[in-house]
Amino acid sequence: MRRVARAVLVAAVRGRRARGGPWGEAALAEFDQTTGGWEAVRWAAGGLRAVWHERRARTRTLPRGVRLQRAAVVAVLLMVPVAVVMNQFVLTPRYMPSGSMEPTLRVQDRFVVDKVGFRLTGIRHGDIVEFDSPREPGTLMLKRVIGLPGDTIECRTGRVYRDGTALDEPYVDSVASTNDCGAPVTVPDGELFVLGDHRLFSQDSRQLGTIPQDAVDGRLLARIWPLG
């Protein structure tokens, strides 16, 4: 993330030149003193504002047509890296490869994963989260959060119970469809108990056990295709 933020700032400050204006170069010099990834992103955003004001001051004396052309070029140059950053680190489009989350998400449905929001608000019951498979590293899975740390989860007569109370699960096609949970499970600290909505087809915490919260990479924001 830090490398991408610096590349965006360098492109804005220097373009094809060896050096940029004094404000932009000062922003670059101070950027190199940042440490964390998010600090780098915030500093790059501030540097982009400084570069914009610097260029605006220089171009006020140019003919209006030239100013408009330059503004269009700068906008395109900025939009491309910003789109890359958004796609990789903020909002990422995905598609559903299996039927494990039906009927909520069907095979080949397109959806967007938010990679930032859940880090600010925390993970809640009912959230649909994306995480790295504990059995196949590098393979992403999408499941619904049923249990948070401290919750006791069990299955009886096809229903899911949390701390002794049967869950209302309108997102499941058949109410009495959840089996094979084994003995009641109390979710450890830093872990989650997750299930797919298609209980008869999903591989989830019934087989994999609880998953580390640190393995969560994003939270479902919205389905974008098909519409409706």
* Cβ proximity of 77 and 15 under 8 Å: yes
CA torsion 105-95-196-117 (nearest 10°) is -100
What does the angle CA 24 – CA 29 – CA 31 come to, to the nearest 5 degrees? 90
Identify the active-site residue in 100, 115, 202, 205.
100
DSSP 105-133: S-TT-EEEEESSHHHHH---TT-EEEEE-
143 is catalytic: yes
Identify the active-site residue in 98, 115, 133, 143.
143
115 is catalytic: no
* Cβ proximity of 111 and 221 under 8 Å: yes
Give the β-pairing of 152-156 and 140-147. unpaired
Q: In three state form, how does the secondary structure of 54-107 look?
A: HHHHHHCCCCHHHHHHHHHHHHHHHHHHHHHHHHHHCEEEEECCCCCCCCCCCC
Which DSSP symbol is given to 215? G
* Cβ proximity of 94 and 113 under 8 Å: yes
CA separation for the pair 155, 192 (Å, rounded):
16
Q: What residues are annotated to the active site?
A: 100, 143
